[in-house]
């Protein structure tokens, strides 16, 4: 199981304020799919609006990203550099 975490602002907008979930997934595609099943349309918001920290390591929200067992998958706002 992976622990899925959202910022409070994101949770307020899309998951009725619930910030943490547990889902079974091997990669981010699985996480997005599981979240989209719970909140239809959420997968697209996650893809378009977030960067993801898997055990603290930042990644773009790509399907292929592996999610190790027990991982913390934290979705945060996208970050852009200079």
Partner 1 sequence: MNDSTIVTESTKRYKWVGTRPIRPDGVPKVTGRALYGADLKLPGMIFGKILRSPHAHARIKSIDTSAAEKLTGVKAVITSKDLPEQKFDYIGPERVAVNFWHVTRNIMAREKVLYEGHAVAAVAAVSASIAEEAASLIKVEYEVLPHVIDVDEAMAPDAPLLFEDMITRGIEPAPTKPSNISKKLEFAIGDVAKGFAEADVVIEETFKTAAVHQAYIEPHACVAKAEADGQIEIWSSSQGHFAMRALTAQILGSRLGDIRVTPAEIGGGFGGKTVTYLEPVAATLSKKSGGLPVRLQMTREEVFRASGPTSGSSMWVKIGVKKDGTITAMDGLYKFQAGAFPGSPVMNGCLCGFASYDVPNQHAIGYDVVSNRPKAAAYRAPGSPISGFAVETVLDMCAKAIGMDPLEMRMKNVAKIGSPTIAGPKHAHAGFAETLQALYNHPAWKAPLGLNQGRGVACGYWFNAGGESGATMQVNADGTVLVATGSPDIGGSRASMALMAAETLGVDYNMVRATVVDTGSVGYTHVTGGSRVTFATGIAVVTATQNVIKDLCRRAAMIWDVDPEGVVWEDGHAKPAGANVGDFKPLSLREIAAKAAATGGPITGSAGVNPGGQAPGFSAQFFDVEVDPETGHVQILRAVVAQDVGKAIHPSYVEGQMQGGVVQGIGWALNEEYIYNAKGQLDNPGFLDYRCPVASDLPMIDTILVEVPNPVHPYGAKGVGEANICPPMAAIGNAITQAIGKRMTSLPMSPPRILETLSKG
Positions that interact with partner 1 (CB under 8 A): 5, 7-9, 12, 48-50, 52-60, 62, 64-65, 72, 74, 76-82
Closer residue to partner 1 in complex, CB, 37/60: 60
CA distance 68 to 80: 26
Closer residue to partner 1 in complex, CB, 8/16: 8
Length of the chain (residues): 82
Q: Provide the 10 A C-beta neighbour count for residue 12.
A: 13
Report H helices in 1-82: 8-14, 28-38, 42-49
Closer residue to partner 1 in complex, CB, 24/66: 66
CB of 67 to partner 1, least distance (A): 12
């Amino acid at each position: 199981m992976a622990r899925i975490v959202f910022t409070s602002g994101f949770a307020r907008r899309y998951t009725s304020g619930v910030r943490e979930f547990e889902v079974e997934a091997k990669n981010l595609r699985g996480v997005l799919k599981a979240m989209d099943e719970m909140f239809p349309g959420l997968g697209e918001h996650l893809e378009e609006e977030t960067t993801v920290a898997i055990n603290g390591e930042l990644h773009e929200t790509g399907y292929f990203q592996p999610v190790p067992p027990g991982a913390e998958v934290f979705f945060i706002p996208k970050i852009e550099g200079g």
